[in-house]
Amino acid sequence: MEQSIIDVTGAGERIPFSEPGYNGTFAVDRLGDEYQKQLKLNDQQVHILNQLWYPSNNFSSIPFCRKEIVKLFVLILEDLSYKYRKQGTAIEVEFNTVADLMTRSRYKTGLNDYSYKLTMLSSLNDIHYNIFKHAENALRVHYGHTRKINTDLDIRDEEVLTEYSSRISDKLSQVLQIWIPRVDMPDRKTERLLYAQNPGRWKQAFEQISKDFKKDSPRYIDLVLDLAELNSSNPSKEMIYYEASKDIAPVDPQAALTLYVHYIHCDLLSETFDNRPLNKTNIKKLFKTDEQLHDFQAIIENLIASRDLVQALSAVSTVLAPKRKKISLNADAIEAIKEKHSGTVKLLEKYLQDEEETVIVPVLIVEDIPIQVQQLVSAVEVKTKVFADELKLSEIQTEVLIHFERNNFAVPQDEIGELAREKGVFKNQLIDSINESCYDFIDDVLIEEEEENYVIYENYYQNILAK
Question: Average pLDDT, stretch 408-419?
Answer: 87
Q: Which secondary structure element, helix H or strand E, spans residue 15, and what is its range? A: strand 14-16
- Give residue 105's pLDDT band: very low, low, confident or very high (50, 70, 90): confident
- Give residue 354's pLDDT band: very low, low, confident or very high (50, 70, 90): low
Query: Which residues does 22 contact at the CB level (< 8 Å), separation at least 6?
Result: 117, 118, 121
Query: Which residues does 243 contact at the CB level (< 8 Å), separation at least 6?
Result: 206
Residue 421 has pLDDT above 90, yes or no: no
Q: For the chain, state the CA radius of gyration.
A: 41
Residue 129 has pLDDT above 50, yes or no: yes
Question: Average pLDDT, stretch 33-57?
Answer: 92
Question: Average pLDDT, stretch 229-249?
Answer: 95
CA atoms of 41 and 50, how far apart (whole Å): 12
- Give residue 459's pLDDT band: very low, low, confident or very high (50, 70, 90): confident
Q: Which secondary structure element, helix H or strand E, spans residue 4, and what is its range? A: strand 4-6
Question: Average pLDDT, stretch 345-361?
Answer: 51
Letter string b/e over residues 198-210, b meaning 16 or more CB atoms within 10 A of that residue's CB: beebbeebbeebb
Q: What is the pLDDT of residue 424?
A: 80
Q: What is the pLDDT of residue 345?
A: 54
Q: Which secondary structure element, helix H or strand E, spans residue 447, and what is its range? A: strand 447-450
Task: Give the residue with greater pLDDT, 289 vs 440.
Answer: 289
Letter string b/e over residues 173-190, b meaning 16 or more CB atoms within 10 A of that residue's CB: eebbeebeeebeebeeeb
CA atoms of 172 and 130, how far apart (whole Å): 11
Q: What is the mean pLDDT of the chain?
A: 82
257-261, 325-329, 349-353: lowest mean pLDDT where? 325-329
Phi, psi at residue 417, to the nearest 5°? -60, -40
pTM for this predicted structure? 0.62
Residue 378 has pLDDT above 60, yes or no: no
Q: Is the distance from CB of 434 to CB of 401 less than 8 angstroms?
A: yes
| pLDDT-above-70 percentage for the chain | 79
Query: Which residues does 406 contact at the CB level (< 8 Å), separation at least 6?
Result: none
Question: Average pLDDT, stretch 296-304?
Answer: 96
Question: Average pLDDT, stretch 117-144?
Answer: 94
Q: Which secondary structure element, helix H or strand E, spans residue 371, and what is its range? A: strand 371-374
260-264, 385-389, 422-426: lowest mean pLDDT where? 385-389
CA atoms of 95 and 65, how far apart (whole Å): 27
Residue 124 has pLDDT above 70, yes or no: yes
The interaxial angle of helices 170-179 and 114-142, nearest 10 deg, is: 40
Q: What is the pLDDT of residue 344?
A: 57
Give the residue from 121, 147, 110 showing the smallest Cα distance to 52.
Answer: 121
- Give residue 251's pLDDT band: very low, low, confident or very high (50, 70, 90): very high
Q: What is the pLDDT of residue 342?
A: 61
Give the residue from 321, 324, 422 showing the smallest Cα distance to 373.
Answer: 324
Q: Which secondary structure element, helix H or strand E, spans residue 14, and what is its range? A: strand 14-16
Each residue of 256-267: pLDDT tens digit? 999 999 999 999
Question: Average pLDDT, stretch 44-68?
Answer: 92
Collapsed DSSP state (helix, strand, coil) of residue 448: strand
Q: Is the distance from CB of 445 to CB of 401 less than 8 angstroms?
A: no
Residue 305 has pLDDT above 50, yes or no: yes
Collapsed DSSP state (helix, strand, coil) of residue 354: coil
Residue 139 has pLDDT above 90, yes or no: yes
Each residue of 15-40: pLDDT tens digit? 333 333 334 433 356 899 999 999 99
Residue 394 has pLDDT above 50, yes or no: yes
CA atoms of 290 and 292, how far apart (whole Å): 5
